[in-house]
Structure 1
């Protein structure tokens, strides 16, 4: 690839974005939404009193959500839209190669998607200035967000080169994004409930039915000849129930964009409890890796033990992060679509879909 020709393609794409009124409308709506979130955060979390971590994570999650909703409409018609407007063929007859056209449009869509992060920068600065934020949280979350914007842009541009009609390429992009963000949650929930296993509950309790007639276990006095609790026999009961096995399907969530963002961010705990939205999501997902006990016991006849209390941070011992696996899967999907799109855009083409405009 020639850097100069690649830069020309990127420049043309970005100038078209800048000239579009709808682009500024989207950025303006996004700014208004963030203002509302900032006002509610001040009222709800009291940023000066330690709620700034929640505000920062909420803003990052909101930026990712809006990118997932808006980016397909901006990148899903990058190639086939130019083909319909008869502006692709004149570019293809120049020295610009097919790889440079598709990659240039992808990079332009990536840069355009990062504009939302630029708009959110003042709000992120407010959350950072409130104090108490771990620098690792800021760097990791922003880095993952930048990568996720690029993945969505690549998927959209890839479909725009593969599918002939812009409306279908945009819809295909939304379907892939929905499968990664919502479909993984549905598959996780239904899969865990479907893959159940038996759990045996064994309990030992005092057999109050063995008390002599006239001895009320709740009120009898000890000087009436009635036996004490310790003198009554114990009976053991077994109960068999089914428990969901989310530990067998937790990996499905690895490709979820929001899980990747939360799991890749260094957790923040205070007294063992999650302090921000990232840590709360990561804790919930990592806890799903725990294998449920096949047998539980309760002995009501023995002296009660001092209960062992585990904080959420302690419960994560033995679990592993999965964000890098999910991110790798997303990158492979995006790279595969871009490669397929390059092959479909290359000229001269032996076969074209019916009704495809050439020039």
Structure 2
């Protein structure tokens, strides 16, 4: 693969995008959205010591969201769009190879997606200067975001070379992105609900029927006819119910781009063990889904609330669970690489067979 020819294809693609007014409109709208998010975040988290962490994670997640929404339109018609306008055939008769054409268009689409990250950099700097951010969090989030933008670009360019019509290839790219984002959530919810298991619940509660009228069991001191909390009669009941088994389908979330980004960032917790940003919130939820439900659950309502055992914090729940971001990233890379290779094979000339109505020159 010749780097000079690759750079030429990439330069042609980028110059076409730079000349488009719609490109600058998208970047401007994106900047306005970030300004609104920054204003709302700073006002919401101004009194919190973790405000900068939340703002930084919100900006990174917003960049990923907008990239997933816009990138299919930028890359989903990269190859078949040129074929439709009869500009692909003149390039194919030059010394440029098919692989260089497809890879060059992929690199151009990747750089175009990264332009949104460049627009967001001033806001990231503001979030960094506004508080103490862990350098590992910043580096990990930016690296994973850059890789995710490249994966979406590769999926779009690959499908644009496989599918004959630009409209269908753009729609197919959106379908793949929707399957990775929304589809994994739907499959996780439905799968966990379908795979249920029995759980025995044992409860002890106050016999409210035996309590004299007007008595508050939590404030009674034993004077008069009102017994103390320790003197109350308790009733124990046992019943069996079905609970979902999300621990058997949590791996479906591994390929979700937002889960990959959140799980790859090193978690930070406050003194109580709760996440300090949006990354930690998402990662903690996925880690908690890995824990199977207990076969037996008990609740003692005959114990004062102050003596009730506290629940485990998200940091404690994450102990003993496994990160999944590298598995999800590998799945995404396999999908993107497979579509790119398929696209190169479909674009290679001379072609043995072409779909009906395909324009050559």
Q: Deviations over 1:185-212 (max 9, x none)?
A: 1111111111111101124568899x9x
Shift of 1:5: 1.1
- Give 1 or 2 for the bigger CA radius of gyration: 1
Shift of 1:48: 8.3
Give the conservation status (yes or no) of the 8 Å contact 2:287–2:317: no
In structure 2, the partner of 1:318 is 320
Q: Deviations over 1:99-127 (max 9, x none)?
A: 11101110111011100000111111100
Give the conservation status (yes or no) of the 8 Å contact 1:47–1:130: no
Shift of 1:308: 4.3
In the aligned structure 1, how far is the partner of 2:230 from the partner of 2:261? 56
In the aligned structure 1, how far is the partner of 2:223 from the partner of 2:94? 107
Q: Deviations over 1:297-323 (max 9, x none)?
A: 346679996624422211211111101
Shift of 1:229: 9.4
In the aligned structure 2, how far is the partner of 1:332 from the partner of 1:243? 34
In structure 2, the partner of 1:273 is 274
In the aligned structure 1, how far is the partner of 2:11 from the partner of 2:223? 96
Give the conservation status (yes or no) of the 8 Å contact 2:76–2:173: yes
Matches within 5 A, 1:184-203: 184-203=184-203
In the aligned structure 2, how far is the partner of 1:181 from the partner of 1:301? 45
Q: Secondary structure at the match of 1:273?
A: coil
Q: Deviations over 1:324-356 (max 9, x none)?
A: 110100000000000000000000001000000
Shift of 1:18: 1.1
In structure 2, the partner of 1:178 is 178
In structure 1, the partner of 2:121 is 121
**Alignment partner for residue 338 of structure 1, among 340, 343, 349?**
340
Shift of 1:143: 0.4
Question: Relative to 1, partners in 2 of residues 1:202 and 1:14: Cα closer, same or farther, differing over 3 Å?
Answer: same
Shift of 1:7: 1.1
Matches within 5 A, 1:292-311: 292-298=293-299, 307-311=309-313
Q: Deviations over 1:116-155 (max 9, x none)?
A: 0001111111001112100011000000000000000000
In the aligned structure 1, how far is the partner of 2:164 from the partner of 2:230? 81
Give the conservation status (yes or no) of the 8 Å contact 1:196–1:243: yes
